[in-house]
Amino acid sequence: MNEKQSSLPIIIFLISTIIGVGIVTLPRQTALIVGQPNMWVSVIFGAIIAFLNALLIFMLIKRYPKQTLFDFAPEVIGKWIGKLFSLVFVAYAISISAFIIRTMSEIVNYYLLDRTPKVVVLAVLILSCMYLVSCGLTNIVMFFQLYFPIILAMFFLLTILSIKSIEPTNLRPIFVNDGFALLKGTNTTFFSFVGYELIMVLSGYQSFTKWRSMTKILGISLGAVCIIYVLFFILNIGILSIGELKVITFPTIEMAKTIEYQGFFFERFELLFLFGWIITIFTTLTAYYYSALLGICKTINCKRNIFVNIFVGALILSLSLVPTGITELFSSSTYLNNLSYAALIGVPFILLVVSVTKEKFQ
């Protein structure tokens, strides 16, 4: 499969991975930090930083075609330190998987299955993910392509239905001079674009060596997600106002609940959103689950089998149950952000510097 032919599956994979928890929690988090109607500008800043960081990662993986991070890290920086770097990325993938599914279970319990134990909701998602991951990366990519139109249709329909509920005064003033607040909010919005770093895993599936092809893939993927996020930010602000966004835990879902069409056969539009959103959570979880599984197997030199699969699933499930409530869950995101800095920026940057240095002195 050549690079040109396979750009679309990779783009779909990245978009499906990036869109996740952020679309329901990010408006509140950003409102608390920025607190002004044009806070959607912070989303654009976050996308730009993510794109630049993705190019940094590409500069690294293009030097090692058809190899994943777990393959070339020991080659670049030495066996044991390379394995340590691989384990940092594995820990990141497992931690973000646990955070994703725990947030999903909180929302499902609150809006859909209030009497179902959280562990049951978590276990169902983990078991489904275990099965899909066992089928290999090719089937995962095909699955993402199958459900991608459903995800887009859900976002498009919800946007169209929500427009009539926008209160224009909530969106004004558009131009606010507090640029520092917008930049401060970028620290939060940047993490809503995580998922692009998995090109360090996809690089074992396909060789990424051309700048034009890769900038196109990353530009379309991050650009599409940025457009979706900005649209939903504007909808959230226009319908709920900045004041309400600061106190509502899951504003996007509450926004969907405001949609009303008398005489229409379907009344609870938040269910439509939750249906599509749960699919995006599953695709995000699958991508990170596979990355963690592959990383463990390559680091300890074992084959991907049912026992390692169960171990990773049990680890994610156990970690997701650690927070006692939603407040503690959101507090744990601080630690996850620090780990993300190490996996997204620290590890690729160090490996790239060492790789270039070694090449110059050879």
DSSP letter for each residue of 1-52: --TTTTHHHHHHHHHHHHSSTHHHHHHHHHHHHT-STTTHHHHHHHHHHHHH
Structure tokens at 246: 């600061």
Is 215 domain-assigned? yes
151-155, 246-250, 301-305, 308-312 — most confident range: 308-312
Structural domain boundaries enclosing 263: 7-351
Confidence tier at 311 by pLDDT (50, 70, 90): very high
**What is the amino acid identity at position 105?**
S
Alpha helices by DSSP H, the chain: 7-18, 22-33, 40-61, 69-77, 79-111, 118-134, 137-162, 179-189, 199-202, 211-245, 251-257, 269-299, 306-320, 326-331, 333-341, 347-361
Mean pLDDT value of segment 321-344: 87
Residue 70 one-letter amino acid: F
Supply the pLDDT for residue 3: 46
Give residue 48's identity as a one-letter amino acid code: I
Average pLDDT estimate for 66-72: 91
User: What's the confidence (pLDDT) of residue 176?
Assistant: 64
Find the range with the poorest average confidence among 4-13, 92-101, 335-344, 345-354. Answer: 4-13
- Mean pLDDT across the chain, nearest whole number? 88
Per-residue pLDDT band for 139 (boundaries 50, 70, 90) equals: very high
pLDDT of residue 261: 64
Q: How confident is the model at residue 264 (pLDDT cuts 50, 70, 90)?
A: low
Residue 1 has pLDDT above 70, yes or no: no
- Rounded mean pLDDT of 261-273? 66
Please indicate, yes or no, if residue 148 is contained in any of the structural domains. Answer: yes
Share of the chain above pLDDT 70, in %: 94
Question: Would the pLDDT of 262 be above 80?
Answer: no
Share of the chain above pLDDT 90, in %: 47
- At residue 267 the predicted structure's pLDDT band, cuts being 50, 70 and 90, is low
| Residue of 279, 43, 243, 56 whose CA lies nearest to 154 | 279
pLDDT tier at 4, thresholds 50, 70, 90: very low
Report residue 11 as tokens: 């783009």
Phi, psi of 211, rounded to the nearest 5 degrees: -60, -45
Is 294 part of any domain?
A: yes
Most confident of 86-95, 208-217, 351-360: 86-95
pLDDT digits (tens, 9 = 90+) for 157-171: 888 888 888 888 888
Q: What does the pLDDT read at residue 161?
A: 81
Closest to 58 (Cα-Cα) out of 231, 206, 239: 206
- For range 148-159, the mean pLDDT: 85
- Our count of domains for the chain comes to 1
Of 23 and 261, the one with more pLDDT: 23
Q: Tell me, yes or no, whether 65 lies in a domain.
A: yes
Q: Which has more confidence, 266 or 313?
A: 313
Band of the pLDDT at 151, cuts 50, 70, 90?
A: confident
Report yes or no on 32 lying in a domain. Answer: yes
Cα(141)–Cα(287) distance, integer angstroms: 9
Is residue 219 pLDDT above 70, yes or no?
yes
Which residues are CB-neighbours of 150 under 8 A, at least 6 positions away? 276, 279
On whether residue 361 sits in a domain, the answer given is: no
Model pLDDT for residues 282-310, shown as the tens digit of each residue:
999 999 999 999 999 999 888 888 999 99
Q: What is the mean pLDDT of residues 258-278?
A: 72
CB 125 within 8 A of CB 101: yes
In this predicted structure, the answer to whether residue 361 has a pLDDT above a threshold of 90 is: no
Does the structure show a pLDDT above 80 at 321? yes
Confidence label for 362 from pLDDT (cuts 50, 70 and 90): low
- What is the average pLDDT across 127-146? 92
Query: Does 60 map to a domain?
Result: yes
Evaluate whether residue 285 is within a structural domain.
yes
pLDDT of residue 116: 87
More confident call, 114 vs 44:
44
Find the CATH number of the domain harbouring 85.
1.20.1740.10
pLDDT category at 258 given cuts 50, 70, 90 is confident
Q: How far is CA 63 from the centre of its chain?
A: 26
Q: Are 64 and 75 in contact (CB under 8 A)?
A: yes
